[in-house]
Each structure stands twice: as C-alpha cells, then as structure tokens.
Amino acid sequence: MENSIKHRLLSVAIFMLLNLHITIADLSSDTEALLKFASSVPHLRKLNWNSTLPICSSWFGVKCNDAGTRVTAVHLPGVGLYGRIPPNTIGKLDALKILSLRSNFLTGNLPSDIPSIPSLQSLYLQHNNFSGNIPLPLSPKITVLDLSFNSFSGNIPAAIKNLTRLTSLNLQFNSFSGAVPELNLTRLRLLNVSYNTLTGSIPESLQKFPVSAFEGNSFLCGQPLSLCSSSSSSPISLPSPAKHKKLSTGAIIGIAIGGLFVLILLAIFFVCCLKKKNDEDSVRSLKVKAVTAGKNEKSDDFGSGVQAAEKNKLVFLDGSGYNFDLEDLLRASAEVLGKGSYGTAYKAILDEETTVVVKRIREIGVAKKEFEQHMEFVGRIGKHPNIVPVCAYYFSKDEKLLVYEYMYSGSLSSLLHGNRGIGRTPLNWDSRVKISLESAKGIAHIHSEGGAKFNHGNIKSSNILLTKHLEGCVSDLGLAPLMNFLPTKSRFVGYYAPEVIETRKFTHKSDVYSFGVLLLEILTGKAPLPLPSSSQEEVVDLPRWVRSVVREEWTAEVFDVELMKEQHVEEEMVQMLQIGLACVTRVPDMRPSMEEVVRMISDLRPSESSDNRPSSEDNRSNVATP
Ligand SMILES: *[C@@H]1O[C@H](CO)[C@@H](O)[C@H](O)[C@H]1NC(C)=O
Ligand SMILES: *[C@@H]1O[C@H](CO)[C@@H](O)[C@H](O)[C@H]1NC(C)=O
Ligand SMILES: *[C@@H]1O[C@H](CO)[C@@H](O)[C@H](O)[C@H]1NC(C)=O
Ligand SMILES: *[C@@H]1O[C@H](CO)[C@@H](O)[C@H](O)[C@H]1NC(C)=O
Ligand SMILES: *[C@@H]1O[C@H](CO)[C@@H](O)[C@H](O)[C@H]1NC(C)=O
C-alpha cells in the first residue's frame, strides 16, 4: 500500500521535473526565436526585447500562457517592421495562438512555417506588402485569417475549405487570381475577397455574402453580383479564349483593347523607325534613356499605354501657359529622373523653351471621374510660388500621366546628400533657412486652401524641388490621397509619423511630423533613409537619433559638419532644431500647425527684412513681432 503511494508520488515528482525541464526549454526556445526575429527584421520603433528581462511580463507585445511557460501571442501592429521575415523565427513559436503583424512594411513571401504553426488560431497580417502565394499547409485551428491589403497572388488555396473553425477570412486588396473556391464552412461569418483579379462564378455556399465582399473583381460574376453571361457556371479562364465559345463582354472588351494596343504599338514602332532614318538621332521618339546614376536600367517609355482614340486628350489645368499635345509629349526626348513612391518620373524636352516632368503613375485607387475632379481641385490649390504646379494630366485605362513644371536645380535631397566629396559646394545655412521657410509656406498653403481633409502625405527631401534661384517648392501634390497603398519601401518610411504607420491615414499633423524630419535632415545632413553600406537596410530614425544625442549632451555634434565651418549661425541652428523637435512630437495634437511653423522659422531672423527672400511675404508674417 504505502509502497505504491510512494511509488506514485515519485513518479509524479519525476513527471513534474521532466515537465518543468521541458517547459523551461520551450520558453527558452521561444525567447531565442523572438530574439532572432528582432535581430533579422529591422523595425523603426524600439521593442525593448532584452534577454535579461522576463519575457512573459516585460517584453513589448509578447503574451504567455497563465503558467508563464510558453509564448501564446505576439502583437506587433504598427511598429514599423520592414523587410522580409526569415523562416525559423516566428514560425518556431509552436505554442503561438495569436499573431498580429498588421500595419507594418513587411515584404516578400510569408514563410510557410508561420501559418502552419499547429496551435495558431488568429493571423493578422493586413496592411503590409507580402507577396507570393499563401503558403501551405494551414493550421487546422485557424479561426481568423486576415491577409488583406498586401500583394499576395496566385489562387485562393482550396485547402481553406478544410479550416472548419474559420469564422473570418479577409483577402481584399491583393492580387489573387483564379476562381473563388467552394467554402462550405458553417462558422464563416465574415468573408471579403474584394479588389483582386478573381474570375468565374461565385460558389453557391458564398452567395449569402454581400456585394461588397466581392466587388472590384472585374471578371467575377453570379450572385450577389450580376449574373454570369455564360450559361455554364465554370470559371472563365482568360488566357485561353479558344476553349470557350462564349466569353463575357468584359473579356471581349479586354481582348479588343489588347488587340488595339498591339496595333498601336506596331504603328508607333513603324513611325519611329521611319523618323529615325529621316533625321538620325535628333529626336529619340518614345525611347527613354535611363540615366539613373550608374545603374543600367531597362529602356522604358511612358506612352505605351496610350490609346489611339484618346491621343489628344491631354487635359490642361487652368492657367498653365503651355501649348503642346500628347503627341508632342510622346515624341519628346525623355530621360528617367527617378522612380518615386507612386511611379516613374521622366524629364521630357519638348523644344528649347519647354521642358516638363512627366510622372507615370503605376496604379491609382480611383475612377476616372473622381480623378478628374481631384485634379481640378489640385490644380486650384497648387497655385502658389512654393508649390510645383501640375500643368496637365492624361488618364486612360492603361496609362496615367501627370505633367509638372520642370525644376532646374533638382531636389533638396540631392543638394544635401548628393556628391559629397571633392568638388561639392555645400548648401550654406542661409540657403537652408530660406528653403525651409519656403517649403513650410508651400505646405501651410496646402493645408489652408485644401481644408481639413486634404493633406500632402508625402513630404520628404526628394519632394522639395528647387528653382533656378534655389527657391524651395513642394512637389507631388495631390498624389498620396489617390493611392490605396502606403509606399512601403524603406526609403520612405523614415518620414512617416508613428500614427501613420499605425493607421495608414495622413493628416495635417502627420505632414507636420514629416516636415519636422525634413528640418532635422537639413540640420544634421543625415537622411532618414537606409544606409547604402548596410546590408540590413537599417533606417536611421532621425527624430530618435537627434533626441538621443541632444539628451546626452547638448552639443554641436548633431549638426551637419558642413555647417560647422560657418560663423555666428549656431544659435539659429539650435532654434531651428527646437522647431524640428516640436514637429516630431509623438502626440499629434502637441505638434504645431504648419502656419505656426512658418511663423517660428520667420522669427529666427526677425530683423532681417529683405536679404534674399521675397520681402512682401516676410513682412506680412512678421507683423506680429515687435
Ligand atoms: C539589457 O538590459 C541590461 C540591463 O537592464 C542592459 O545593461 C543591456 O544593455 C540591455 N541590452 C540590450 C541589448 O538592450
Ligand atoms: C482536406 O482534408 C481532407 C481530409 O483530411 C484531405 O483528404 C484533403 O486533401 C484536404 N483538402 C485539401 C484541399 O487540402
Ligand atoms: C454544406 O455542408 C452541409 C453539411 O456539412 C451540407 O448539408 C450541405 O449540403 C453543404 N452545402 C454545399 C453547397 O455543399
Ligand atoms: C470588403 O472590403 C472593402 C475594402 O476594405 C470594404 O469597402 C467592404 O465594405 C468590405 N465588405 C465586407 C462585406 O466586409
Ligand atoms: C509591393 O511589392 C510588389 C512586389 O513584391 C511591388 O511591385 C510593389 O511596388 C510593392 N508595393 C508597394 C506599395 O510598395
């Protein structure tokens, strides 16, 4: 009797010991996996994951089970994670139930070890830029799968129909193609596959979901959308029209446009060849020479999507004094200026007097009508000496062009960071103050004229362009509000306010934050960009860096070395630094308005009336100062 009790106790003790050992090992492997994740995926906000601190109680975004033996949830929404997630990091957390990495800038394939974590129940990856297929297998326990607002492609895997616990499936705004699989899942309450490139008919089991769950897929049909034109309910596969006698009207239009497009290309090609023979190389019809520093970029042209019937539909905005048509534009010699957030910019030389910048926009989130109204609005707001005006636009299904005035002295970014070395003329402090003030005035004008809902959304040094006389002008006005996506390349994220990373919404105050980063950039000569030397694409979080230097010791060390040679400017630089730091305050409501920023910068030099600035404007803004 006693023996058997002893025996039992002993075995329980041994079991507990073993168990303890196993759980400790598991928590340490969880720790290791998370540390590996933090070190291999760069992030803008500090996570404070430190192995000397207890993981279950102190690590940001990490939750454990009640016993504190395993990590069960990781919540890292909007912390500025960017780049790829390598396998064997998060995927190693094999007790994980909830993973939220939404609203970051993650790219590349989703490693297959993440959705297959056997315990995984909720996976929130919306608002990133993951691409590639949904990796298989999927954990059978998944109840919530949100992959919306990414660049996933391929088919929606049929394996989803085996996820019997699924309650919510969000796949909207991706590039999924093929048919929607039959998903006879009794618990599924929320489905959204809108804005993909899905085709075919909606399966019966999903017809109970509303229209908005399916819209934005031009070739999807059947309840609750319009009836499929073909009597068979099998999905239409576009690339093989021969197989199907009956095509949807959409498909026919698509093919017709495609055919027309090929014809036009041939015609253009023919015309070009003739021209080349006639007048040698003087006009480089349509061919665009890539002159991006050193890199041999693919030849490209901005007219390839222009349809013949619309050849003369270049729409000029009121008051632009230009006189050319679309054909002139397409015939102009052009070179690539750069690839921006939303498309490629070309410099097009029409004749000796006329040079314009053509922006070819990759994707626009609005329909033509809305776009036209928006451009009229932008045209009105853009009338200000410190804003680069939009002169004209072209909108067709395949091609969206915006034509801007060309600015001769390039961008503030290239003046600050380009060609550091021998032969460089540093940008002096006077010019930096002047350009800061002028750009601030441009942005303040956008805010006051555009109203509370209209903002710039893309303030950065490469969008501050300079006239012949080095006057700062804000460019790219009106583009950000048209886009569905936030650009996620690491060279943009350094200007985003923390709340933009979290909510994806721009406001006046987020413009102020970006402008604050710009001021810090002007002062420090450092760019909030990934360092070209580092393989990690590590972004300098400029506000954080400046605060850390300034906190430790208020020294001149933060300032650009090029400015240190100048006399009697340090006091102004310190004041400007304070303006910059006020703009990058984390709490949006604590940031000054753009109008206040203009006033503060003007107040740096209250006595100076008219050295190299347009005096009337300055006098006006100085009225309040005694
Ligand atoms: C972790 O915390 C310890 C003590 O708080 C500190 O000395 C150490 O620098 C921290 N390590 C990292 C990587 O932050
Ligand atoms: C679904 O599960 C069944 C049974 O477990 C299996 O045979 C089938 O291959 C699965 N289907 C998919 C598409 O994974
Ligand atoms: C869905 O499944 C239920 C039971 O699991 C079955 O009765 C029903 O016929 C199925 N519906 C479809 C459309 O396959
Ligand atoms: C689907 O997503 C789109 C875009 O976010 C949204 O407008 C629509 O209301 C959603 N529909 C449903 C049924 O959730
Ligand atoms: C997302 O990634 C795709 C390719 O992976 C790229 O073409 C696209 O420009 C990216 N989108 C954004 C908004 O960065």
Three-state secondary-structure class, residue 237 = coil
Alpha-carbon distance of 132 to 152, in angstroms, equals 5
Which H, E and C letters describe 391-418, residue by residue?
Answer: EEEEECCCCEEEEEECCCCCEHHHHHHC
In DSSP notation, 274-308 reads HHHHHTTTSS--S-EEE-STT--PPPB-S-TT--G
Alpha-carbon distance of 115 to 139, in angstroms, equals 6
* Residue bearing the CA closest to ligand 2, atom 2: 162
* Residue bearing the CA closest to ligand 1, atom 9: 50
Binding residue numbers for ATP: 369
Question: How do residues 465-518 score in pLDDT, each as one tens digit?
Answer: 998 888 999 998 887 777 766 666 656 678 889 888 888 888 999 999 999 999
Using CA atoms, how far residue 53 sits from 49, 50, 291, in Å, is 8, 6, 51
Question: How do residues 565-574 score in pLDDT, each as one tens digit?
Answer: 787 788 888 8
52 C-alpha to center of ligand 1: Å? 7
Q: What is the mean pLDDT of residues 453-466?
A: 90
Identity of the residue numbered 373: Q
Question: How do residues 51-93 score in pLDDT, each as one tens digit?
Answer: 888 999 889 889 898 888 999 999 898 888 989 999 999 999 9
Question: 161, 164, 184: which to mutate for ligand 3, most atoms within 8 A of CB?
Answer: 184
pLDDT value, residue 434: 94
Question: 173, 194, 214: which to mutate for ligand 4, most atoms within 8 A of CB?
Answer: 194
Nearest ligand, measured from the Cα of 52: 1
Three-state secondary-structure class, residue 123 = strand
Residue 111, preceding peptide bond in cis (omega within 30° of 0): no
Q: Is the pTM above the cut of 0.85?
A: no
Alpha-carbon distance of 215 to 192, in angstroms, equals 9
Q: Which protein residues are within 6 Å of ligand 4, measured from CB?
A: 172, 192, 194, 210, 212-213
Neighbouring-strand partners of residue 108: 130
Identity of the residue numbered 17: L
Alpha-carbon distance of 286 to 272, in angstroms, equals 8
Phi then psi for residue 482, to 5 deg, are -90, -10
pLDDT value, residue 125: 95
pLDDT at 199 over 90: yes
Mean pLDDT of the chain: 77
Q: How confident is the model at residue 305 (pLDDT cuts 50, 70, 90)?
A: low
pLDDT value, residue 608: 52
Return the structure tokens found at 35: 């540390």
Q: What is the mean pLDDT of residues 197-206?
A: 93
Cβ burial, residue 522 (10 Å; 0-12/13-18/19+): buried
Three-state secondary-structure class, residue 167 = coil
Percent of the chain with pLDDT over 90: 35
Q: Which protein residues are within 6 Å of ligand 3, measured from CB?
A: 184, 204-205
pLDDT at 155 over 90: yes
More confident residue, 551 or 459: 459
pLDDT at 618 over 60: no
Return the structure tokens found at 171: 């796949």
Phi then psi for residue 466, to 5 deg, are -125, 135
Identity of the residue numbered 450: G
Contact 626, 603 (CB under 8 A): no
pLDDT at 611 over 50: no
Contact 59, 31 (CB under 8 A): no
Q: How confident is the model at residue 246 (pLDDT cuts 50, 70, 90)?
A: very low
The separation between the first and the last C-alpha atoms of the chain, rounded to the nearest angstrom, is 99
pLDDT at 334 over 80: no
Question: How do residues 364-383 score in pLDDT, each as one tens digit?
Answer: 777 888 888 888 888 888 88
Question: How do residues 261-290 score in pLDDT, each as one tens digit?
Answer: 444 444 444 443 333 333 323 222 223 332
Contact 209, 224 (CB under 8 A): yes
pLDDT at 353 over 80: no
Could you tell me which of 20, 3, 136 has the C-alpha nearest to residue 69?
20
pLDDT value, residue 227: 85
205 C-alpha to center of ligand 3: Å? 8
Question: How do residues 213-241 score in pLDDT, each as one tens digit?
Answer: 999 998 999 989 888 875 443 333 333 33
Q: Is the CB of 158 under 6 A from ligand 2?
A: yes
